[in-house]
Amino acid sequence: MDTSVDRPPTTDGPPALSRDMRSRDDSSPDELRHALLAGALGAVVASAGYLIYNRLEDEHKEALRRTVMKFVEEKVGDLRAQLKI
């Protein structure tokens, strides 16, 4: 009488990654450098914009807010028209 049961082998480690997932992990140091540079540049531009915005007079801030809100409303309207929402 055989009491053993056929079970799939178990592993203690993480499941094997597919080929596509492995290729994403094998990025070159140049790609990492470019990503960090883009992030740092974005932070500098955002900081400069924040400093400039804080120095504006209230009437200029309000005009800028209206302009941005109008732009965003137009883009949302365009997107809704394209998606027929």
- What local confidence, expressed as pLDDT, does residue 76 receive? 96
Structure tokens at 51: 């400093």
Q: What is the residue-wise DSSP string for 15-83?
A: PPPPHHHHHHH---HHHHHHHHHHHHHHHHHHHHHHHHHHHS-HHHHHHHHHHHHHHHHHHHHHHHHHH
- What local confidence, expressed as pLDDT, does residue 8 receive? 59
- What local confidence, expressed as pLDDT, does residue 84 receive? 85
**Tally of residues, the chain:** 85
User: Are 61 and 53 within 8 A, CB to CB?
Assistant: yes
pLDDT, tens digit only, all 85 positions of the chain? 556 566 655 556 555 555 555 555 556 888 999 999 999 999 999 999 999 999 999 999 999 999 999 999 999 999 999 998 7
How far is residue 46's CA from residue 37's CA, in Å, rounded to a whole number?
Answer: 14
Each domain of the chain, given as residue ranges in start order, spans: 29-83
User: Are 74 and 66 within 8 A, CB to CB?
Assistant: no
